[in-house]
Structures are given as structure tokens and as C-alpha cells.
A = this chain, B = another copy of it.
Amino acid sequence: MGLLDDIAAGNAAWAATHGNRNLPNLPARNAAILTCMDHRIVPLRLLGLSVGDTHVIRNAGGRASDDAIRSLVISYKMLGTREWFVIHHTRCGMMTFTDEEMRALLRSSLEPAWRDDAGWHDHGGGGSTHGDDIDWLTFADLEQSVTDDVARIRNHPLVPARIPIYGFVYDIDTGKLSEVAAAMVASRPTA
């Protein structure tokens, strides 16, 4: 019950003081950010932005999944955003295993795995083949994953060519954001 209690206390303190009550219904900077669920990522702060400025979409890897694109299309068509930012990051957990390793581990056990010099392991004892049909969206090359995702969004049939899409890598260690050159090319509308 530790975390649940802490959250109740933390939220009571927040509710007593928070200043977000009168934010407009649409994001002030008219943008959406797609990035990773990683606990070290603080999307608005690393961009120098404020609460209320942008939509923030996050998943494992910051990938342009069908669901991320669902959210982006809603963000543009219905909720006021006009440009989109894709940000992946160094030392991402999604670069530490492959889709095939994930599937094999889940077939062995649904319980937590760990990694040592010999690779990933779990305690076994019975898993599921249900992960075999899932695209886990792991990746090996960070700039390539940003470029692939910018291209996937750009070429989606519900994404107008006029929406700027920017691709960045965030360095967890230095705190620096770098635009990915290949993603700039991939974001150009064709024709």
C-alpha cells in the first residue's frame, strides 16, 4: 500500500495549491509531442515548455504505433495542434531486447525477466504464446527509429501534408536534444 498512500497524500497537496484550473481547453502552443514512457523523460521541462502548452503522447519507445497516430489525428483534427514532435532517447529500454527475445520470454513466463552478461532470463514455469502476434516495436538504431516513425506518420492517409513533423533524439546523460537529419528528409511531403 506504500505507493497508493503516497499518491493520496501527494494529490491532496497538489489539489490544495495547483494553478492549472483555468487553462484553456486547447493546448497553448498548438503542438503534440510523441515520446517514450521512460521514467527519466520529463517532456515539457526538457523542451523548456509549460503545463498547458502541448499534448503529450507516450508509449514504450515513443513509437508511431497505430494508437499514437490515432492520438495525433485526434489532436490535429479535433483539438487544436498544428505541428508534431517525435522524440526518442539514448539508453532506451526498447534497445535492450528484440521482439523475438520478448516473445520467447513471454512463452517462458509472464513474470519479470532480468538480464546478465549471458542475456535475458526469467524463472520460467509457464507463459503464453499470445505475445507471438504482437509487434513489440523494439529497435536497434536510435536515429533510424526516429526516421522510420516520422516517415510512418508522414505517409499515413489521415495525416495532411501541411503538418510539420520533427524528429529528435534526446540524450539522457547530457540532457541535449538533437534533430535527426534523416528524419528531416523523411518528414518532407512527397509531391
Contact of A70 among B8, B44, B59 (CB under 8 A): B59
Please measure, in the bound complex, the distance between the C-alpha atom of A128 and the C-alpha atom of B120, giving whole angstroms.
44
Report whether A106 and B128 are in contact in the complex, using a CB–CB cutoff of 8 Å. no
Chain A residues engaging chain B, CB cutoff 8 angstroms: 3-4, 6-16, 18, 20-21, 23, 25-32, 37-42, 44-49, 51-60, 65-68, 70-71, 73-80, 83, 85, 91, 93-94, 96-97, 102, 105-106, 110-113, 120, 122, 128, 130-131, 134, 136-137, 157-160, 166, 172-177
Which residue in chain B gives the minimum CB-CB distance to A115? Answer: B78
Report whether A91 and B25 are in contact in the complex, using a CB–CB cutoff of 8 Å. yes
Which of chain B's residues have a CB closer than 8 A to the CB of A9? Answer: 48
Which of chain B's residues have a CB closer than 8 A to the CB of A78? Answer: 93, 96-97, 102, 105, 112-113, 120
Report whether B136 and A14 are in contact in the complex, using a CB–CB cutoff of 8 Å. no
Report whether B175 and A21 are in contact in the complex, using a CB–CB cutoff of 8 Å. yes
Report whether A51 and B40 are in contact in the complex, using a CB–CB cutoff of 8 Å. yes
How near does chain B come to A111, taking the closest CB pair, in angstroms? Answer: 6
Contact of A65 among B67, B73, B177 (CB under 8 A): B67
Which residue in chain B gives the minimum CB-CB distance to A105? Answer: B77
Contact of A55 among B14, B37, B52, B113 (CB under 8 A): B37
Report whether A112 and B77 are in contact in the complex, using a CB–CB cutoff of 8 Å. yes
Chosen A-B contacts, 7 in total, with CB atoms closer than 8 Å, are A12-B176, A16-B175, A23-B39, A57-B58, A60-B74, A76-B112, A128-B158
